[in-house]
Amino acid sequence: MIDHERSAQVRADAPPPAHPVAGRVRLEGEFKQALETGRNRLIVTAGLFALVFAVIAGRLVEVTLFGHGEPRSAGGPRPGALETFRADITDRNGVILATSLETASLYANPRQVIDPAEAARKLVSVLGGDEGEIRDRLASGKSFVWLRRNLTPRQQYEVNRLGIPGVDFQRDERRVYPVGGIAAHAVGFTDIDNKGLAGVERQFDEKLRTAQRAVRLSLDVRAQYVLREELLKAIDEFSAEGAGGLVLDAHTGEILAMVSLPDFDPHRPGAQPPETRFNRMTLGVYEMGSTFKLFTLAMALDSGVANLNSTWDATGPIHISRFTIKDFKGQNRWLTTTEVLQYSSNIGAARIGVAMGPARQRDFMKRIGMLDAASVELPEAGLPMYPSTWREINAMTIAFGHGLAVSPLHLANGVAALVNGGILRPATLLKRDPTQVPLGQQVIKPETSKTMRALMRMVVEKGTGRKAEIDGYRLGGKTGTAEKVSAQGGYARKALLSSFVAAFPIDEPRYVVLVMLDEPHGTKATGGFATGGAVAAPTLGRVAARIGPILAVDPAERAPKPLPAVQDARARGQGVAAN
């Protein structure tokens, strides 16, 4: 009896029996509830652990690949963010003119800096600079401040050794220019964030940011160096305010050299006066003086208004309204068309301008590109300045290079059309594939171009450009001496713009070269003269002599090609100007 009661008691205290349901054991009552509660807690705990591990893993990935996640600057990428390097800029032969180097930039989270004063003192001991300024930045309470951009590896190492809390580095890049200021105006420069601010850097800013290959320019750094060196010598010799020069492929329009002086260091463009960043060759517009007589003769010969033996009254000055047109060294006689160029007669050129008439002259200047912006790939491109109403007085002054202002690039490109068979092609700073040279526009007849080459050669042999003559190369060109416009209006008689433009070898021109000196002064060797023939012509001759071999121009002297028959005006007597 007792055993039965104990057995019943045991059964009463035992958990409820499990009932088999479809092959499973089903738990009931408090035991089942406890088991479910434990399992739920285990699932929640496992989920929390998984979330924590996911956050930690994500943070590790972020720190490893993207740095510290602080804002770089307002609206900018984060420090350490991987960026595509800016593409290189090279010359036509692959010489690097601009490239990017990986650097480290120093920044801080001031909220994490324990002692701003002590940190500033340590940083200045390594980096230099204003200790007070750095201290103020570190004490600003901001979450991000720049301390120094583009550290050298040595500076980065020394700062890292300091172990200052809250101070760290960002992967950065710095734009560098291996040839320095030699091609500064063409290549341009960037700001500290590598945004293009001038030159090709600005013109092709987006392309340079996204390009996979270098942007190749038409420049030849060897010719660039020679041109710059000779211009620097000329500035020193003639105490000039500045200078500029161009070397242009006469058949493709490619610019092989372009120099504007004074120039600047593209690594520190703001360290020099603002005028050093002014590109005289493309942005400056000037009255180019007697070099324009080439266009005057070309349009007169091409239109049939004149031939080489036409004669023009240069017996005395021309008085029109309140103006007087006279020659620098007047012949005081009638001159043939050839002699107008040989003696650089303003009077003779003015007579030709009148014979052409304002309308035809304007049309020709438009056709040869003198009235439109130059096509060069630079943001620094000046617009020509010309009269809104083209009157007879304008036709006279423009005929000898006053009253119409253009950039030196306009002049060089127009002269290229005069000597290359009469085809005007847009100038370019990009290297052109020989098979993709633009067809261009025929602006004068090939026969006229041939005559112009002979006339330009005559200027160097017997005219105002004799000082440009060099051994080995037959040059042909034209001098120019223009009085600069003064700030008070009118012309400053002692402030000259002296230039010489030439093609070589003139019998089969390959290159057009232009040299311009701003306010040169005569020397004892020049007889006190500072004209284009006295100062610019010999400078250009030295440039051609040096770049000829570099550019593989055959130096062999060729037999001279005579001019078409020209009758001396003195033998003909005082004739009437051809119409």
C-alpha of 265 from chain center: 13
- Tell me: pLDDT of 429 over 70: yes
What pLDDT sits at residue 560?
53
**Percentage of residues of the chain with pLDDT beyond 70:** 83
Query: Mean pLDDT across the stretch 190-210?
Result: 94
Pairing state between β 255-261 and 167-176:
unpaired
- Tell me: pLDDT of 569 over 80: no
What pLDDT sits at residue 492?
74
- Annotated catalytic residue within 218, 290, 407, 498: 290
Q: Which residues contact 256 (CB under 8 A, 6 or more apart)?
A: 92, 218, 219, 220, 223, 224, 247, 248, 249, 511, 551
Instruction: With CA atoms as reference, report the closest residue to 456 among 399, 502, 500, 420.
Output: 502
Same domain, 383 and 433: yes
- Tell me: pLDDT of 379 over 50: yes
Q: Tell me whether residue 356 is in a domain.
A: yes
DSSP for residue 463: S
pLDDT band at residue 81 using 50, 70 and 90 as cut-offs: very low
Same domain, 460 and 522: yes
Same domain, 383 and 489: yes
Same domain, 319 and 303: yes
- Tell me: pLDDT of 559 over 80: no
Q: Which three-class secondary structure state does DSSP give residue 196?
A: strand
DSSP for residue 57: H
- Tell me: pLDDT of 141 over 80: yes
- CATH code for the domain in which residue 431 is found: 3.40.710.10
Better pLDDT: 572 or 288: 288
What pLDDT sits at residue 75?
36
Same domain, 152 and 230: no
- Tell me: pLDDT of 115 over 70: yes
pLDDT band at residue 57 using 50, 70 and 90 as cut-offs: low
Question: Which two tokens mark 44?
Answer: 């929640």
Same domain, 376 and 497: yes
Q: Tell me whether residue 549 is in a domain.
A: yes
What pLDDT sits at residue 52?
63
Same domain, 440 and 422: yes
Same domain, 190 and 304: no
- Tell me: pLDDT of 172 over 60: yes
- Which range marks the domain in which residue 250 is found? 224-265+279-559
- Tell me: pLDDT of 577 over 60: no
Same domain, 326 and 209: no
**Percentage of residues of the chain with pLDDT beyond 90:** 70
60-64, 109-113, 190-194, 220-224 — most confident range:
220-224
Q: Tell me whether residue 54 is in a domain.
A: no
Better pLDDT: 207 or 577: 207
Same domain, 204 and 314: no
Q: Tell me whether residue 74 is in a domain.
A: no
Number of structural domains in the chain:
2
Q: Tell me whether residue 38 is in a domain.
A: no
Q: Tell me whether residue 309 is in a domain.
A: yes
Q: For residues 445 and 88, what is the distance between their CA atoms, to the nearest angstrom?
A: 42
Q: Tell me whether residue 329 is in a domain.
A: yes
Q: For residues 497 and 531, what is the distance between their CA atoms, to the nearest angstrom?
A: 8
- Tell me: pLDDT of 16 over 60: no
Q: Which residues contact 38 (CB under 8 A, 6 or more apart)?
A: none
Query: Mean pLDDT across the stretch 48-76?
Result: 52
- CATH code for the domain in which residue 116 is found: 3.90.1310.10
Same domain, 200 and 235: no
What pLDDT sits at residue 474?
94
Distances (CA, A) of 177 to 56, 173, 188, 393, 466: 43, 13, 10, 49, 39
Q: For residues 63 and 51, what is the distance between their CA atoms, to the nearest angstrom?
A: 18
Q: Is 499 an active-site residue? A: no
What pLDDT sits at residue 77?
44
Span of 118-127, 235-244, 303-312 with lowest mean pLDDT? 118-127
- Tell me: pLDDT of 557 over 60: no
What would the pLDDT profile of 290-318 be if each residue is shown by its tens digit?
999 999 999 999 999 999 999 999 999 99
Instruction: Indicate the burial class of 13 (C-beta count within 10 angstroms; 0-12, 13-18, 19 or more).
Output: exposed
Distances (CA, A) of 334 to 70, 351, 487: 81, 11, 37
What pLDDT sits at residue 43?
75
What pLDDT sits at residue 69?
39
- Tell me: pLDDT of 217 over 90: yes
pLDDT band at residue 173 using 50, 70 and 90 as cut-offs: confident
Same domain, 307 and 176: no
